[in-house]
């Protein structure tokens, strides 16, 4: 890859990773795993509100 394109490539990579993390946070659901270990879902309304304030 030519050096002139590295910055744009890096920026695109950061944006893709950020989008994947946000999708994982919003798409989660409450789960019960092995030995009854419970993981609650994040409150989607609060998460969306927090994400709206950061931009």
- Tokens coding 55: 């931009």
Instruction: Pick the more confident residue, 15 or 3.
Output: 15
Residue 6 three-state SS: helix
Per-residue model confidence (pLDDT) at position 15: 92
The b-or-e profile of 28-48 (16+ CB within 10 A means b, else e) is eeeeeeeeeeeeeebeeeeee
Instruction: Pick the more confident residue, 55 or 25.
Output: 25
Owner of token pair 């990579």? 13
Give the model's confidence band at 1: pLDDT under 50 very low, under 70 low, under 90 confident, else very high.
Answer: low
Chain segment 17-52, per-residue pLDDT in tens: 999 988 888 888 899 999 999 999 888 888 888 888
**DSSP secondary structure letter of residue 33:** -
Distances (CA, A) of 42 to 4, 20, 28, 29: 41, 16, 7, 8
Asked whether the predicted pLDDT for residue 54 surpasses 80, the reply is no
């Amino acid at each position: 890859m030519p050096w002139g394109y590295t910055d744009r490539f890096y920026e695109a990579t950061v944006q893709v990773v950020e989008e994947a993390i946000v999708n994982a946070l919003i798409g989660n659901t409450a789960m019960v795993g092995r030995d009854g270990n419970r993981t609650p879902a994040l409150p989607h309304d609060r998460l969306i509100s927090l994400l709206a304030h950061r931009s």
